[in-house]
Amino acid sequence: MKRYEALAADIEESIRAGVLRPGDRLPSVRHTCASRKLSASTVFQAFYLLEARGLIRARERSGYYVCAVVGQAPPEPDHVSAPQDASVALDVSELVFGVLESSMSREVVPFGSAFPAPNLFPLQRLGRSLATAARMLQPRDTVDDLTQGHAALRRQIALRYLADGINVQADDVVITNGALEALNLCLAVATRPGDTVLIESPTFYAALQALERLGLHAVEVPTHPRDGMDLAALEHAIQRHQPRACWLMPNFQNPLGSLMPLEKKQALVALLAQHQIPLIEDDVYAQLYFGKSRPLPAKAYDTEGLVMHCCSFSKSLAPGYRIGWAVPGRYTREVARLKLSTTLSTPTPTQLALVDYLEHGGFDKHLRQLRQALATRLSQFTQAVARYFPEGTRATRPSGGYFLWVELPAGCDALALHRQALAQGISLAPGPIFSASRAFTHCIRLNYGHDWNERTEAALARLGALAAAQLGPRAEPYQP
């Protein structure tokens, strides 16, 4: 992290923690230079960054002030979810497909999208790496290393784990067609039809679909929108339901954006190890952190090979390249074999392109820009939700990723809102698609990872008005 970024992160933390409050004046540039032993230009860069994120604002001849950001954000949802304590067969896939397929048009405002704006990614630079890879491709490359993926790419991935202090070697990695294939392979290897799997509540809809397809039962475990699955509830569910696996997302969970603290991850891994339950860890958003460093995955605490860590470059670098991977611990051979007999291998040219990019492309610089763009959009988005959504609306404050989880006032109907908004050219992801019991009927997931402009703001205003209209004639948009 560069010096100005470190300074900005410190100030941001002070704002988030309430040390600096809305309306407070920041220490002057001169003062900050002296106290921090930094150049004026570094301090200015930090202030510009915070201003771009909507956290501070300059006042003419008076210095920088903390914006009313905290006041302008809707209150956070602050209760753990309360799913029913039962092992249920799944029947939500039709609903999920219906919602996803209805939202695919290029014309809609993509609040329902699962992807951030594709223009956030270095596709031109990747294209050069692809051209290089194509030129260097040896015929034998197309038939070598079929099982686990190309050795050079696995090595690059292992190097990044090493940099994060996680013990993963190249031979532990199985390259897949995106993280979705990795997750599906791990689930299929860890379970047999009829088994029970523990999931978060709400949970990523693809997990629900995978369970349904494999004939598995789900137990939804109470989950907090800020720090993830409740471990006491998890322990209870283990005792009661004898699950065969647990699938979750400790970092920037989809749809909540929740982040499980380190000690909690450690306790999670220990608890599952005690019962010898494999953990399928979906970690695709880890690189999109707004804090100081990549939050460690649960895999970092795995001493028994029970954590099946799944990841990809689709959300951090190369959408459309479909390169993901699994680090399946003691299940590595089984996962590799299942991959070999279902999709054989991941394409060679795209794997080699990523090797070239990771070696020469400037991945870390790209990631810094990407994180900053997403953090800025989150701030703009949150403020607009506060401005345009009806009173009683709550919204999460994710510290990474690009999803905002919005709890509308009781009485709102997310599925109806989905249909109404779509008729006006706006997509969203309604809460029930994230739940085996179609709960979260008044919740929606909004994607803030797209361009922020007048059209976006108008669409959010429209959405807020539609939600307010659902509450009857007396409900008015919230005016702070």
For residue 92, give the nearest of 188, 202, 187 by alpha carbon: 202
Measure the CA–CA gap between 106 and 319, rounded to whole angstroms.
16
Measure the CA–CA gap between 362 and 364, rounded to whole angstroms.
6
Minimum CB separation of residue 124 from its own copies in Å reads 8
CB-nearer residue toward its own copies: 409 or 449: 449
CB-nearer residue toward its own copies: 215 or 425: 215
CB-nearer residue toward its own copies: 176 or 201: 176
Minimum CB separation of residue 160 from its own copies in Å reads 21
Q: How is residue 154 written in tokens?
A: 């696995």
Phi, psi torsion values for 95, nearest 5 degrees: -60, -45
For residue 405, give the nearest of 388, 382, 384, 423 by alpha carbon: 382
Tell the residue number behind the tokens 């050069």, with chain if given: 128
CB-nearer residue toward its own copies: 396 or 447: 447
Are 216 and 192 a contacting pair, CB within 8 Å? no
For residue 443, give the nearest of 458, 428, 456 by alpha carbon: 428
CB-nearer residue toward its own copies: 228 or 319: 319
Give the burial class of 30: count Cβ atoms within 10 A of its Cβ; 0-12 exposed, 13-18 middle, 19 or more buried: exposed
Measure the CA–CA gap between 287 and 296, rounded to whole angstroms.
10
How would you label 186-195 residue by residue, b for 16+ Cβ within 10 Å and e otherwise?
Answer: bbbbbbeeeb
CB-nearer residue toward its own copies: 139 or 472: 139
CB-nearer residue toward its own copies: 186 or 234: 186
Minimum CB separation of residue 377 from its own copies in Å reads 16
- 230: helix, coil or strand? coil
Q: Kindly list the residues in this chain that would bind its own copies in the complex (CB under 8 A).
A: 93, 97, 100-101, 104, 106, 113, 115, 117-119, 121, 123, 126-128, 130-131, 133-135, 137, 139-144, 146-147, 177-178, 180-181, 184, 193, 206, 209-210, 213, 215, 319-323, 337-338, 340-350, 353
Minimum CB separation of residue 15 from its own copies in Å reads 33
Minimum CB separation of residue 406 from its own copies in Å reads 23
Minimum CB separation of residue 118 from its own copies in Å reads 3
Query: Reading across the β-sheet that carries 429-430, which strands appear in turn?
Result: 394-395, 403-407, 443-447, 429-430
| Distant-in-sequence contacts of 457-463, Cβ < 8 A, 24+ apart | 457/384, 459/109, 459/111, 459/425, 459/426, 460/111, 460/381, 460/384, 460/385, 460/388, 461/384, 461/387, 461/388, 462/421, 462/424, 462/426, 463/111, 463/388, 463/389, 463/417, 463/421, 463/426, 463/428
Q: How is residue 137 written in tokens?
A: 């491709």
Minimum CB separation of residue 452 from its own copies in Å reads 17
Measure the CA–CA gap between 221 and 242, rounded to whole angstroms.
13
For residue 259, give the nearest of 236, 289, 232 by alpha carbon: 289
CB-nearer residue toward its own copies: 367 or 475: 367
- 242: helix, coil or strand? coil
Let me know how many helices (H) and strands (E) the chain has, helices first: 16, 17
CB-nearer residue toward its own copies: 348 or 383: 348
Minimum CB separation of residue 284 from its own copies in Å reads 12
For residue 72, give the nearest of 464, 466, 382, 418 by alpha carbon: 382
Minimum CB separation of residue 147 from its own copies in Å reads 7
Minimum CB separation of residue 120 from its own copies in Å reads 9
CB-nearer residue toward its own copies: 142 or 303: 142
Measure the CA–CA gap between 397 and 416, rounded to whole angstroms.
25
Half-sphere exposure of 264 (CA within 13 A, CB side): 18
CB-nearer residue toward its own copies: 41 or 343: 343
Q: How is residue 160 written in tokens?
A: 């990044």
Minimum CB separation of residue 202 from its own copies in Å reads 17
CB-nearer residue toward its own copies: 7 or 126: 126
Minimum CB separation of residue 466 from its own copies in Å reads 25
